[in-house]
Amino acid sequence: MKIYRVGGAVRDKLLNYPSDENDWVVVGSSPQQMLELGYQPVGQDFPVFINTLSGEEYALARTERKSGHGYGGFAFHTAPDVSLQDDLIRRDLTINAMAEDDDGSIIDPHNGQQDLSNKILRHVSPAFTEDPLRVLRVARFAARYHHLGFSIAEETLSLMSTISASGELQHLVAERVWKETERALCERSPDIYLQTLRDCGALAVLLPEVEKLFGVAQRADYHPEIDTGIHTLMSLQQAVRLSDSSPIRFSVMVHDLGKGITPDHILPSHSGHEARGLPLVKDICDRLKVPNEHRQLAMVVTEFHLLCHKAFELRPETLLKLLKAIGALKSSNRLEDFLTCCEADARGRTGFEDRAYPSSAYLREARECIVKTDVADLVAAGISGAEIGKQLSARQTAALADFKAHYSE
């Protein structure tokens, strides 16, 4: 029995890149022996065990054979005679097909160290095409290491295009697609994830609503970059500068989906795109089983981002409705997440990347001026029910009118 550190832990150690991965492969063992040694089984498809002391995963070396569609369409074989090399050749990229033994020696049968040095993401073998999830994984690695200068080998991108055209991506379960997409959104360059998927034809399959944004013109006086898809990528870049929040980055990614279905006769104007985008955001969230935290923020950002940009122009009544609609009166955190998304949108334009976004301070102060509005006197006077709500709104509106009249940046 021999144990090796494998995959991401080895890759990132050689890159001197921060990593919390630590996966292990066990060669020359069996499920029964692992149980006898005190490891706890967790794998359903193939034998994976937890070291109860460290909490880390130990997988028996295995081979695999394509037996169906999608990520789960494989038959796995484990046995004491399955070698480390047998296990490594089934992996996706050469930089992920390395192992480290207990004395620190690197086992690298597919020249992963050379590809690390050359900053190339390259597939291990033609079997790469058997697993459609690898399209998303490679796109995620491209997003993770783009700032270091990594790129995808042409032949690997070609195989990704082959997978995209094969129909295999449609067999991926929603949870896997979302998991890879969310992880990519949290990488250093999530815009590269979308661009990579687009380059190989996968974006049109997995996120057609986002794909439709590319090539759609916008008014040049508002959007010097013109293309709505490019604006989405630029907004994501700004979201990275402003926050590491997954819900915020997701919301920025989908905030302009309505522009992808703007009627041709009103282009390059996109009047009403906010309302048109809401069903599309809902479709993505339903299809990928997106968590409610992401969904709720994405819906309010899609519907109200333009009002946020125009905050100074809003009448007190409209300002109050906006603050209520985004949940700002219930939680300052909801307001902050909303404002961050809107700022990323505003700055995600050519020439606007470093502009101040005064709407944020304005809406924060507007919230503060009404959040503690007191109606104790009305309760004491015996007023209740709907009338209390009506009187509270009237007082809040009056406070916002006074705030608006005296506000100075």
Residue 400's domain comprises 373-406
Tell me the average pLDDT across 256-274.
Answer: 95
Least confident segment among 13-17, 160-164, 277-281 = 13-17
CATH for 62:
3.30.460.10
Tell me the average pLDDT across 378-382.
Answer: 75
**Residue written as token pair 């949108």:** 345
Residues 252, 286, single domain; the answer is yes
Query: The pTM is what?
Result: 0.90
CATH for 183:
1.10.110.30
Instruction: Determine the distance from the C-alpha atom of residue 61 to the mean position of all C-alpha atoms in its chain, rounded to a whole number.
Output: 31
Compute and round to an integer the Cα radius of gyration of the chain: 26
Question: From the CB of residue 386, how many other CB atoms can be counted at a distance below 10 Å?
Answer: 8
Residue 121's pLDDT is: 98
Residue 75's pLDDT is: 63
**Which residue, 206, 236, 259, sits at the end of a domain?**
206
List alpha helices for 186-266, DSSP H.
190-199, 203-206, 208-211, 228-242, 246-254
Least confident segment among 9-18, 357-366, 373-382 = 373-382
pLDDT at residue 19 is higher than 90? no
Q: Do the domain assignments include residue 220?
A: no
Q: How many domains does the chain have?
A: 4
- In this structure, what token pair is assigned to residue 114? 């050379």
> Which range has the top average pLDDT, 40-54, 72-86, 225-239?
225-239
- Report yes or no: 196 and 139 within 8 Å, Cβ to Cβ: yes
Question: How does pLDDT run across 270-307, given as a tens digit for each residue?
Answer: 999 999 999 999 999 999 999 999 999 999 999 999 99
Residue 53's pLDDT is: 83
pLDDT at residue 380 is higher than 80? no
The beta-carbon contacts of 123-128 under 8 Å, at least 24 apart in sequence, are: 123/92, 123/93, 123/94, 123/153, 123/155, 123/156, 123/159, 124/88, 124/89, 124/90, 124/91, 124/92, 124/93, 124/94, 124/97, 125/89, 126/159, 127/66, 127/89, 127/90, 128/92, 128/156, 128/159
In the chain, the percentage of residues whose pLDDT exceeds 70 is 96
Q: Do the domain assignments include residue 213?
A: no
Q: Do the domain assignments include residue 272?
A: yes
Instruction: Determine the distance from the C-alpha atom of residue 407 to the mean position of all C-alpha atoms in its chain, rounded to a whole number.
Output: 37
Q: Do the domain assignments include residue 76?
A: yes
Least confident segment among 207-221, 226-240, 366-380 = 366-380
Least confident segment among 63-67, 96-100, 212-216, 394-398 = 63-67
- The SS3 assignment for 120 reads strand
Residue 184's pLDDT is: 98
Residues 95, 152, single domain; the answer is no
pLDDT at residue 322 is higher than 60? yes
Report the C-alpha gap between 379 and 246 in whole angstroms. 42
pLDDT band at 388 (very low <50, low <70, confident <90, very high): confident
Question: From the CB of residue 271, how many other CB atoms can be counted at a distance below 10 Å?
Answer: 11
Q: Where are the beta strands (DSSP E) in 53-197?
A: 57-60, 62-66, 74-78, 99-100, 106-107, 120-121, 151-152
Q: Are strands 40-41 and 48-50 parallel, antiparallel or unpaired?
A: antiparallel
Tell me the average pLDDT across 335-340.
Answer: 98
Residues 97, 183, single domain; the answer is no
Residues 387, 300, single domain; the answer is no
Residues 368, 254, single domain; the answer is yes
Report the C-alpha gap between 192 and 146 in whole angstroms. 7
Residue 18's pLDDT is: 86
Q: Omega into 208 within 30° of 0, i.e. cis?
A: no
Residues 255, 344, single domain; the answer is yes
Residue 43's pLDDT is: 66
Report the C-alpha gap between 309 and 146 in whole angstroms. 31
Q: Do the domain assignments include residue 235?
A: yes
Q: Do the domain assignments include residue 211?
A: no
Tell me the average pLDDT across 32-52.
Answer: 84
Query: What are the residues facing 23 on neighbouring strands?
Result: 6
Residues 252, 348, single domain; the answer is yes
Report the C-alpha gap between 98 and 62 in whole angstroms. 15
pLDDT band at 324 (very low <50, low <70, confident <90, very high): very high
Residues 322, 259, single domain; the answer is yes
Largest CA distance in the chain: 84
Least confident segment among 14-18, 114-118, 253-257 = 14-18
Residues 84, 182, single domain; the answer is no
Question: How does pLDDT run across 56-100, given as a tens digit for each residue?
Answer: 889 898 887 654 554 554 566 778 888 999 999 989 999 999 999
Torsion angle, alpha carbons of 38, 43, 48, 49, to 10: -20
Residues 353, 271, single domain; the answer is yes
Question: From the CB of residue 368, how many other CB atoms can be counted at a distance below 10 Å?
Answer: 11
Residue 68's pLDDT is: 54
Residue 45's pLDDT is: 63
- The SS3 assignment for 157 reads helix
Tell me the average pLDDT across 243-258.
Answer: 98
Residues 124, 259, single domain; the answer is no
Tell me the average pLDDT across 350-367.
Answer: 97
Mean pLDDT, rounded, of the chain:
92
pLDDT at residue 379 is higher than 90? no
Question: How does pLDDT run across 123-145, given as a tens digit for each residue?
Answer: 999 999 999 999 999 999 999 99
Report the C-alpha gap between 111 and 116 in whole angstroms. 9
pLDDT at residue 154 is higher than 90? yes
- Report yes or no: 143 and 190 within 8 Å, Cβ to Cβ: yes
Q: Do the domain assignments include residue 214?
A: no
Residues 234, 364, single domain; the answer is yes
Q: Do the domain assignments include residue 351?
A: yes
